[in-house]
Amino acid sequence: MKKDLLTVKELAAELRMSPKSIQRAYRKEKIPVQWLGRMARFDLAKVRRAMERNGRSRMRRLNGNSTPQGATAGQGRRRAQQKRPCSVRRGLV
């Protein structure tokens, strides 16, 4: 028999995420949480729906609906970023 409500650690294992990411998500109200006293509990079906609705790329990758995102052609993310113009002048003119 499967549990209806999961703890933070159980949900993290089910979604293959860290417990810290789960805590961050429910504190920012990105996933639904049910409080039993001071204990946070989660309904897995509701959490999956909320993550899909919010467009979480990790959920799409786990379901196989998306391609991996990131820099292409072997470029690192830093190299792919454009330089911004410096808005502060330093030194004597």
Q: Which residues contact 45 (CB under 8 A, 6 or more apart)?
A: none
In this predicted model, what pLDDT tens digit does every residue of 48-88 receive, in sequence order? 999 988 875 555 555 555 555 555 555 555 555 566 666 66
Domains along the chain with CATH numbers: 5-64 (1.10.10)
More confident site: 3 or 31: 31
More confident site: 69 or 23: 23
Q: What is the mean pLDDT of the chain?
A: 78
Q: Which residues contact 9 (CB under 8 A, 6 or more apart)?
A: 19
**Strand locations in 1-93, DSSP E?**
5-6, 34-36, 39-43
